[in-house]
Every structure is written in structure tokens, then in C-alpha cells.
Amino acid sequence: MNILLFGPNGSGKGTQGSLLKDRFHLAHIESGAIFREHISGGTELGKKAKEYMDRGDLVPDEITIPMVLETLKEKGKNGWLLDGFPRNMVQARKLWEAMQNEGMPLDYVVEIHLGRETAKNRIMGRRLCVQDNNHPNNIYIDAIKPAGDLCRVCQGKLVTRADDQDEAAINKRHDIYYDTVNGTLAAAYFFKDLASKGLTKYIELDGAGDINTVKEALIARLG
């Protein structure tokens, strides 16, 4: 089973992705990891990508798309879950064309819906337990609200991660994600349109629920 996963930062996409990966034994392929592996592995595409990155330039799609495809073919032989790519409309079209050329099926496209304000709050509301980073706490999610200033599980001290409090960076990422004309949501809608033609299946989930509710809804839809 090959799945594309869309959702804004803060929607629980990473968590749902790893749950799906375990359940269906998929290779969980994240866009950042694709770049890192090609570069550290010294592949031809990785070398080219590094030249752009060293100059501080964006890696062009002519390099990125084949890199993604190669990784899907190598690591995702028995099914893959692609997360964090495509990021925009142009990449969506090019990825689809490349997959068509390879005869690679796209079984499902999953979109996790979450309003922009809620997504931002969820990121900024994350609190890390210093005793155990598997103790989730979030001041904006009722189910995992901290006990006062302390971890709801073990009463450990809570801290924030600098990245989670960088509002400008969050806004920048969300500007790209929520752009329905050229951005990531436009990419998602490209696949939604393909689904309306019967070329793939499109699953929309309400990300406002708790992790387990979203997970159950997703698994029920995947059959």
C-alpha cells in the first residue's frame, strides 16, 4: 500500500504517520530524511543537491523528484508512506507524472484537517517532560493538559522546545501549507481531483479529535 500524507505542522501528522507505518508495515519516508540519506550516501543526485544547499539555494525539482522516486523504489518496495512531500502544486504534478512513468500506484492520499490557529496553538502549547519525553503534555489539548506547571503523568518539570516557540518560523511553514493556490493544500487538492477521476482514493480526517479518535477513523477508512 502506497500512501501520501498531508497535514499542517501541529496536526499530529507525524504521530499518525508512525501509527500507520506500524499497522501496515510501510516504509515511513520523510522528505528531510530523503535529502540527508542521498547526501550522506554520496549518490549522484545527493551530490547535485548538496551543491545547491551549500550555496543556500533551493534544490530544483529536477533533482528532488528523482531523489524522492529513487527512495520510494528502494525503501518502499513493500509499501510506503510519504510525509512532507510534495510541498507545492508543481511538485505534486511532477511527482504524479514520475509515478505514472514508473507504473507506481498511489493507493491513498490522506489529508488531516486542522484550522491554522489551532495548529499553531498546538505547536506552541507543547511541553516536554524532563523525566520522560514519552509523556505528552500540551496546554492547548484538554486530554493531555499539564497538572499545573508539572507533567500530568509523573509531576516532572516541564520545558518548552525553542523551535516550538518560534512563531515566525511556524507562520512561515503554515503560509506554505495553507496556500490553496500554489502551496501544499493546492498539492493535496491536485490529488483530490485525481481521486474524483478514480485515479486514487482521498481520505479526509478531522485532526481536531484526540490521537486515538483520528487513528481509528483513519484505519476504518483504509479498510
Candidates 14, 39, 90, 131: give the one binding Zn ion (CB under 5 A): 131
Candidates 27, 98, 153, 186: give the one binding Zn ion (CB under 5 A): 153
* Helix, strand, or coil (residue 188): helix
Q: Nearest approach, Cβ of 158 to Zn ion (angstroms)?
A: 8
- In angstroms, rounded to a whole number, what is the distance separating the alpha carbons of residues 111 and 140? 22
Is residue 48 within the footprint of Zn ion (CB under 5 A)?
A: no
Is residue 147 within the footprint of Zn ion (CB under 5 A)?
A: no
Tell me, residue by residue from 154 to 183, as one string, x for binding to Zn ion by CB under 5 A and - for no binding. x-x---------------------------
Cα–Cα distances in angstroms (integers) from residue 60 to residues 63, 82, 122, 185, in the given order: 6, 19, 32, 20
Instruction: Check if the beta carbon of residue 145 is closer than 8 Å to that of residue 139.
Output: yes
C-beta neighbour count of 197 within 10 angstroms: 7
> What is the helix (H) or strand (E) element at residue 82, kind and residue range?
strand 80-83
- Strands, sheet with 2-6, edge to edge from the N-terminal-most edge strand: 27-30, 80-83, 2-6, 108-113, 201-206
Q: Nearest approach, Cβ of 128 to Zn ion (angstroms)?
A: 9
How many helices (H) and strands (E) are present in the chain, helices listed first?
9, 8
Candidates 29, 151, 214, 218: give the one binding Zn ion (CB under 5 A): 151
Q: Nearest approach, Cβ of 161 to Zn ion (angstroms)?
A: 15
Is residue 152 within the footprint of Zn ion (CB under 5 A)?
A: no
Is residue 135 within the footprint of Zn ion (CB under 5 A)?
A: yes
Query: Cβ closer to Zn ion: 72 or 151?
Result: 151
Q: How many residues line the site for Zn ion (CB under 5 A)?
A: 8
* Helix, strand, or coil (residue 44): helix
Query: Cβ closer to Zn ion: 154 or 199?
Result: 154
Which residues form the interface with Zn ion (CB under 5 A)? 129, 131-132, 135, 151, 153-154, 156
